[in-house]
Structure 1
Amino acid sequence: MTEAGAAPGPPTPPRGRFGRWRDQALALGWLVVVWILLWGDVNVGNLIGGLLVGSAVLLFFPLPAVSFGGRLRPGALLAFACRFVVELVSASLHVARIAVQPGYRPRGAIIAVTLRVPTDLNLALTAEAVSLVPGTLIIEVDRDTSTLYLHVLDTHAPADLALSRERTLDVERRIVRAVGSAAELRRVEPDPAEKGNSQ
């Protein structure tokens, strides 16, 4: 029963066996991707090792239930992967330049970025993608508010902090474009009226 004057929400569809298996398969797939990224080499051995380690993690340390209500878009996923590789190489070169530049002492800062899609899956994927890029480190995640606390390297002005926040939100946007639902996509895409005014 609902309280008087309160509109009943939409019924939540039960998650069947297929839904649970699908969520487990997606979790295993992402664990394998992270394993391969950590090793930095795509080969059969790393693929098999990732499958074994990922299966062990899901078996002995079961993750909280994270339902996937989005839609996989191969084109957007490919665009995300290509952009991620470009950012990875660019950030690596930037950090390498800082490391070998004589007498240069970079300044770091801690910033908070609140994501626009408050789901566990989006929070985990965005945090993982951001932390894999050199020069940025996730130091805390607030699940209740979907906020990431990041340590960013080589900041000199407030504009650098704003740029780091925008880059993090851009990562979230590209992830939602690749695997998010239509409703989640509307949360991260700019309003058409605002987009038209900015041109």
Structure 2
Amino acid sequence: MTADPGPDRGGAAPGGDPPTVGRGGRRRDQAVALGWLVVAWLLLWGDVSWGNVLTGLAIGAAVLFFFPLPSVTFGGRLRPGPLLVLAGTFVGELVSASVHVAAVALRPGYRPRGAIIAVPLRVRTDLNLALTAEVISLVPGTLILDIDRTRGVLYVHVLDVRGPEDLTGSRDRVLAVERRIVRAVGSPTEVRQLDTEPVERRNHP
């Protein structure tokens, strides 16, 4: 079962060409990327310790050195309140999804149906695509299969789909994750983009 991705949003990300990144900005971006790699490493291990932090720093530095990514400029700002909301909501969804997946796995004779949905994001920057995909993949029952970088579309596999309402609910959850991430670390312009295309999305659920 698959869901239609909706209309082609095509073209480059809004806002035109990215600003030129100076040496100081490049170092800042690398520091931010290293921090997120360490966070991802700690989440994979499920344990916060000095050993895991130091190992995450070493592996993250090696990844950035040997596999350099294209320059991704961080033009937003950190907002403590929305960051706490993002972290708290993520933990709640992690627990809820884990219980749901466990119940599905333990239900005798039940064969859950999966589906692949295409979710166009409203903020199509590389950073937002990466952060949203990472958070979605860490929640049990959802997995990012592919990313259309040009159109800003995430292709997500979801577990236990029983009807169209589950597809709509899964798409809404992905967009809710994007909203919390952008509000936590996005620029004012990106926050305003969260309210774009409401009519188009209602016409293509």
When the two structures are superposed, what TM-score results if normalisation uses the length of structure 2?
A: 0.86
Query: Aligned residue for 2:113?
Result: 107
State which of 156, 160, 173 in structure 2 corresponds to 1:154: 160
Whole-angstrom distance in 1 between the partners of 2:16 and 2:125: 18
Counterpart mapping for 1:35-184 below 5 A: 35-184=41-190
Q: Contact 1:173/1:189 (CA < 8 Å) preserved in 2? A: no
Pick which of 156-165 and 10-19 moved more: 10-19
Whole-angstrom distance in 2 between the partners of 1:10 and 1:52: 35
Query: Aligned residue for 1:194?
Result: none
DSSP-derived class of the 1:65 partner: coil
Bigger CA radius of gyration: 1
Q: Contact 1:122/1:176 (CA < 8 Å) preserved in 2? A: yes
**Residue segments in structure 2 that go unaligned for 5+ positions in a row:** 1-14, 198-205
Whole-angstrom distance in 2 between the partners of 1:169 and 1:50: 29
State which of 33, 36, 44 in structure 2 corresponds to 1:30: 36
Q: Contact 1:76/1:177 (CA < 8 Å) preserved in 2? A: yes
Deviation at 1:14, TM superposition (A): 3.6
Deviation at 1:150, TM superposition (A): 0.7
Deviation at 1:54, TM superposition (A): 0.1
Pick which of 10-19 and 149-158 moved more: 10-19
When the two structures are superposed, what TM-score results if normalisation uses the length of structure 1?
A: 0.88
Give the aligned residue type for 1:78: L
Whole-angstrom distance in 1 between the partners of 2:54 and 2:193: 37
Higher relative contact order (CA 8 A, sep 6+): 2
**Residue segments in structure 1 that go unaligned for 5+ positions in a row:** 1-8, 192-199
Stretches (4+) displaced over 4 A: 9-13
Alignment length (residue pairs): 183
Whole-angstrom distance in 2 between the partners of 1:11 and 1:142: 19
Whole-angstrom distance in 2 between the partners of 1:141 and 1:88: 22
